Structure 1
């Protein structure tokens, strides 16, 4: 009783994920917005509109000095979004649009941000390198 036959498999998967993640630490490969169709100027305005700065510190956005979520300075150079999702402009837009779909149970709430606004916000975030 109490023995879970899947637990050794789960331990191996977790160890593998941790090892691959640790191997990427220190790398600062920019994801870059190549061929990305978001409007960074509009994205800056949308960040203020959706009040993203109430949780995040965001350079270039007046009053965006929240400390609930991580600071977003140089977010485009990070390897992962939320520590698990490969950083790319498309993934960033998906994350902004519906963070709970991307990583269920994470701390970022869904804000009801439509896809086109999420793409513009992501485009702005990639200017913060």
Structure 2
């Protein structure tokens, strides 16, 4: 019995040392690509997301949330406009360019109240998240201002999307170039599409803010308004507000080539590969 136990311990120790050696070699070699254009492997992303969620839940437990009200939410909307919009966007409003291309992508906060409790949102706002680009605001916003932001995040799902600017529908639809499937997959990550949609072949959070973008080629219409062709899908990606002025899909400043590439990719994938 003791001999069997010793063998098991020796085997476990050997495996642990091998894993440590392999991990050390991977880090030393620089083989793992940290480019923001190349996404994490799905298992790596899921592990990081799970670890982050568990850490926030653990550290936020002692926090007691005050009563939040509409007055606080109104004040929080002003804080959001100043401090959060550039990275996270809002219903009908795109993030700034830097926010679109960050990896991991800043999540859409319109769904934050469904994923996090009030105390957890307060902890995230106060402390930030390491190696995500999310800063800690406790040195820049006082306690009440941070709770006002939480109140606004809880009210955001009921906020109507930002409508299109007047005259946005007057532009002439551009002639679109041919699309490239692989470029389209990369372009989807650089415009943060996976922050709102589940897309086959694109690593992102388990979000249901927007519809799943699988089986696009088999759908009769794009966004319920355009006959589904590669050109029409690309035109929707270019100017969603032209076709749905009050929709939640924002204008992202997509170039015609990127729109054509994204259309080509979305029409090439099927539902079976959706995570």
Give the TM-score taking structure 2 as reference length: 0.33
Alignment RMSD, CA only?
Answer: 1.4
**Structure that is richer in helix per residue:** 2
Match of 2:264 in 1: 123
State how far apart, in whole Å, the 2-side matches of 1:64 and 1:83 are.
25
Match of 1:33 in 2: none
8 Å CA contact 2:238–2:253 kept in 1: the answer is yes
Aligned length: 94
Matching residue within 202, 205, 218 for 1:77: 218
Match of 1:40 in 2: 181
State how far apart, in whole Å, the 2-side matches of 1:95 and 1:112 are.
12
8 Å CA contact 1:55–1:68 kept in 2: the answer is yes
Q: CA deviation at 1:66?
A: 2.6
Match of 2:143 in 1: none
Structure 1 pair 80–107 and aligned structure 2 pair: CA distance change class (3 A): same
Confirm whether residue 109 of structure 1 aligns to residue 250 of structure 2. Answer: yes
Structure 2 gap segments, 5+ residues each: 1-176, 271-275
Q: CA deviation at 1:38?
A: 0.1
Structure 1 pair 45–64 and aligned structure 2 pair: CA distance change class (3 A): farther
Match of 2:241 in 1: 100
Q: CA deviation at 1:64?
A: 5.5
Structure 1 gap segments, 5+ residues each: 1-35
Confirm whether residue 67 of structure 1 aligns to residue 208 of structure 2. Answer: yes
Match of 2:3 in 1: none
Query: Which string of whole-angstrom CA distances, capped at 9 and with x for unpartnered residues, describes residues 58-95 of structure 1?
Result: 01001154311100111111001111211111010000
Looking at CA atoms only, which structure, 1 or 2, has the larger radius of gyration?
2
8 Å CA contact 1:58–1:65 kept in 2: the answer is no
8 Å CA contact 2:239–2:251 kept in 1: the answer is yes
Give the TM-score taking structure 1 as reference length: 0.68
Query: Which string of whole-angstrom CA distances, capped at 9 and with x for unpartnered residues, describes residues 66-125 of structure 1?
Result: 311100111111001111211111010000011001222122111110111100000000
